Amino acid sequence: MSGAQKTIVALDNMGKTQTYEFLESLPAEIPWIKIGLEQYLAHGKPLIRDIYEKYDKRIFLDLKLHDIPNTVAKALGSLSNLPVELITLHLSGGEQMLKAAQVVRNEKMDHAQLLGVSYLTSLDHHDLQQMWAIQDTKAAFTRLFNLALKTGTQGVVCSAHELETVKECEWKSGKSLIKVCPGIRFKDEIKEGNTTDQKRVLDPESAFQLGANYLVMGRSLTQARDLSTRVTELQKIEI
């Protein structure tokens, strides 16, 4: 399997026309795309169905659900008729919320895997300390990851820099989850310091080597000068 087949392109900051133009130019070697809150709120279910039918893409719907258990369960239920295979929710919604989500997933939509978001990579030590008095971010991440394991959540979204901690937790529990990593930049972009607003980035090859099952890549692909060369780079990675 090649790295391209396990790379998910984040379709951010694009209008509808731009989205379709980009999809026309996206080589078939990349089968996955990610739709975020922005696109979903603007264009809703028709966009998702259209992308699935016209472009034959596999879809990750990144809505990061977070509410009381009943509301999240109902919200997931209303997504059950969509052709999406990965859906996000916040692990910090707690055990009951995660369990309620699993019940709906198992009953109505087992074509989809639920991915727990630990804490957002946009939050730094200061934010975590300010909001939850968190001093030890590794311990905080470990607690959230163990909650994913306990509630049967199928996977997690985490920084590739957290994969070592993930490995420790998985080893201790004897279980393995799907690991999806954003914050990825090509080696030459990192070397040139061209990492935009992502603070802790890693290159695709290293992230796969550390155990990522899927990578999420946005601007490095959507704003690439030469998209097909970038896709070829990903194809050369053997996983």
The verdict on 189 binding ligand C5P (CB under 6 A) reads: no
Let me know: does 70 contact 40? Beta carbons within 8 Å. Answer: no
Beta strand extents in 86-140 (DSSP E only): 86-90, 113-117
The verdict on 42 binding ligand C5P (CB under 6 A) reads: no
The verdict on 204 binding ligand C5P (CB under 6 A) reads: no
State which of positions 9-28 bind ligand C5P (CB under 6 A): 10, 12
Q: What angle do CA 107, 110, 112 make, to 5 degrees?
A: 130
State which of positions 139-158 bind ligand C5P (CB under 6 A): 157
The nearest distance, CB 201 to ligand C5P, in angstroms, is 8
The verdict on 219 binding ligand C5P (CB under 6 A) reads: yes
Alpha carbon distance 121, 104 (integer Å): 28
Structure-block tokens of residue 13? 């900051």
The verdict on 182 binding ligand C5P (CB under 6 A) reads: yes
- Residues in CB range of 210: below 8 A, 6 or more apart: 160, 163, 164, 202
Structure-block tokens of residue 194? 């061209």
Number of residues that bind ligand C5P (CB under 6 A): 14
**Which residue lies nearer to ligand C5P by CB, 116 or 182?**
182
Residues making contact with ligand C5P (CB under 6 A): 10, 12, 36, 120-121, 157, 182-183, 198, 216-220
